Amino acid sequence: MINSSLKQLGQQLASKQVSSVELTQAYLQRMAQLNPTINAYVTIDEDKTLAQAKAADARIAAGDFGPLTGIPLAQKDIFCAKGWRTTCSSKMLETFISPYDAHVISQFDAAGAVNLGKTNMDEFAMGSSNETSYFGGVKNPWDFDRVPGGSSGGSAAAVAARLCAAATGTDTGGSIRQPASLCGFTGLKPTYGLVSRYGMIAFASSLDQAGPMAKSAEDCALMLNVMAGFDERDSTSVNREKEDYTRGLANMTGAQPLKGLRIGLPKEYFAEGLSADVAQVIETAIAEYKKLGAEIVEVSLPNNNLSIPVYYVLAPAEASSNLSRYDGVRYGHRAAEYNDLMEMYMKSRAEGFGAEVKRRILIGTYVLSAGYYDAYYLKAQQIRRLIAQDFVEAFKHCDVIMGPAAPSTAFKAGEKTSDPVAMYLEDLYTIAVNLAGLPGMSIPAGFAQNSEGKALPVGLQIIGNYFDEARMLEIGHAYQQVTDWHTRMPEGI
């Protein structure tokens, strides 16, 4: 049951082969057994969860239900959920109970989904390994010595270890796609503006975007159906007609369902920085796409090498301002002792934030300072436009872009913590997509044997044009009809 697709689970619930309470309990038991080791969840509240499952069963009994009613999901702890502790994996918000629901949470509530708990993450989503979490790192279910990626590391491990049917994540520079690659599942970062950011704790507002993390493209489509949609509380939410992201999936059958599809391979994605074992898996996956009818064209994203430096100006700039509200005045951590207001601010923030968060606040404050703004922030904004323009050019020659989602397979815990730049390079293939506001996804494409002889998952990244999620999901689904990487589970758990 734990390896079933969302569609299968939905059918079992609808036909009352299993109740939501039974299904939820199965996951809760698994969580009780595995979470102490994996540390995917930071908050579990069985009473709340089971109450939702009971309510879902009542809806099913009353015939008032949809595809996700009664399905147990994991929610990244970046989404405010009413009555739930919402921490962003920071000491700053260790005791914060949200009095309101994020848009994403209320959408899932309305759909009747069950919230299994809040998942671990890098503190305020700043990190690529989940190691900056105040609540400790998360184990990669494929190899407990290794990181799950980040920042959505808890959701990633929960999906990979089948501690949930599916999960939510957020992606500011790769935080859905890189963990999806490292943990071997399907993760989609939608077009900026497709999913409301209301109630999603801000890291870098112009880049943050919520998306689904699930076993398959089909599952992601069902999740996105619930998550996407206009919300007037988010001014950057795009007002467009709702679509059914599953609508084209059934057509992905036959010998060459992708006939005519032009896949662009950016030469910059297959250059220095990409490990050979990952490159090989990607090439094999591309070959599979050719068999499905796609044609391959080479494209270029000449400014891709600038995406990391640009990101590490813009994201910290926005973050330094977004995190100013954590001042100890109204909620969150406040130092126990202080002599005056300034000392209360300084001690509360010094105690409440971890090292990576402080580093980014410092960088962001610096680049926005008088005398530096033009050289850093403004210049970075200009280059950001060039990076977006690269994609506009590339999409003149292809329908989607493919490449790796991460430069290597999962690395060992502690391996990159002392070298921030090495950690930042984890997002070499994902950050430009956020800067351009484009949708990107990572699907399981195979395994690479590491030096210790362990097979670790590799993700293939698919980058689409704006609001092309439905097509991207079809393309992922077509591949998953002829491969079984997405059904593989880590052994022994």
Partner 1 sequence: MQWEVVIGLETHTQLQTKSKQFSGASTTYGAEPNTQACEVSIALPGVLPVLNKEAVECAIKFGLAIEAEMAPRSVFSRKNYFYPDLPKGYQISQFELPVVGKGKITIQVPATKNTEAYEKVINITRAHLEEDAGKSVHGAVEGMSGIDLNRAGTPLLEIVTEPDMRSAAEAVAYAKKLHELVQWIGICDGNMQEGSFRCDVNVSVRPKGSDKLGTRREIKNLNSFKFMQQAIEYETQWQIETLEDGGTIQQATVLFNPDTGETRAMRSKEEANDYRYFPDPDLLPLEVTEADKARVKALMPELPQALQARLVSEYQLSSYDASTLTASRSQADYFVATVAAGAEPKQAANWVMGALSAKLNAEEKSIVDSPVSAAQLAALLKRIADNTISNNAAKQVFEGLWAGEGEVDAIIEAKGLKQVSDTGAIEAIINEVLAANQAMVDEYKAGKEKAFNALVGQCMKASKGKANPAQVNELLKAKLG
Answer for which of 42, 88, 274, 383 binds partner 1 (CB under 8 A) is 88
Residues 411-470 that bind partner 1 (CB under 8 A): none
Least CB distance from residue 206 to partner 1, whole Å? 4
Binders in 245-304 for partner 1, by CB under 8 A: none
Choose, from 20, 76, 181, 442, the residue flagged as catalytic.
76
Separation between Cα atoms, residue 171 and residue 441, nearest integer Å: 10
The residue within the footprint of partner 1, chosen from 5, 24, 86, 409 (CB under 8 A), is: 86
- Site for partner 1 (CB under 8 A): how many residues? 44
Q: Which is nearer to partner 1, 4 or 205 (CB)?
A: 205
- Contacting residue, 93, 165, 406, 463, with partner 1 by CB under 8 A: 93
Out of 28, 56, 147, 200, the only residue in the binding site for partner 1 (CB under 8 A) is: 200
76 annotated active-site? yes
Residue 310: CB minimum distance to partner 1, A: 15
- Please pick, from the candidates 2, 12, 26, 331, the single residue that binds partner 1 as defined by CB under 8 A: 331
**Among 89, 133, 151, 196, the one annotated catalytic:** 151
Cβ-based neighbour number of residue 452 at 10 Å? 9
Of 334 and 486, nearer to partner 1 (C-beta) is 334
With contacts defined by CB under 8 A, name the span among 66-74, 149-157, 192-200, 464-472 that binds partner 1. 192-200
Minimal distance, residue 233 CB to partner 1, in Å: 6
Quote the least distance from Cβ 205 to partner 1, whole Å.
Answer: 4
Q: In the set 131, 218, 277, 327, which binds partner 1 (CB under 8 A)? A: 327
Annotated catalytic, 151?
A: yes
Question: Minimum distance from CB of 93 to partner 1 (Å)?
Answer: 7
Examine residue 310 and tell whether it contacts partner 1 (CB under 8 A).
no
Q: Is residue 118 involved in binding partner 1 (CB under 8 A)?
A: no
The least CB distance from residue 457 to partner 1, in Å, is 31
Binding mask 355-394 for partner 1 (x = CB under 8 A): ----------x--xxx--x---x-----------------
Shortest distance in whole angstroms from residue 204 CB to partner 1: 8
Could you say whether residue 202 binds partner 1 (CB under 8 A)?
yes
Sequence-ordered list of residues with C-beta below 8 angstroms from that of 249, at least 6 positions apart, any chain: 217, 218, 221, 473, 474, 477
Q: Which is nearer to partner 1, 37 or 369 (CB)?
A: 369
What single-letter amino acid sits at 387? I
Active site residues: 76, 151, 175
Which spans of this chain sit near partner 1 (rule: CB under 8 A)?
Answer: 79-80, 86, 88, 93, 96, 98-100, 102, 197-202, 204-206, 232-236, 317-318, 320-321, 323-327, 329-331, 341, 345, 365, 368-370, 373, 377
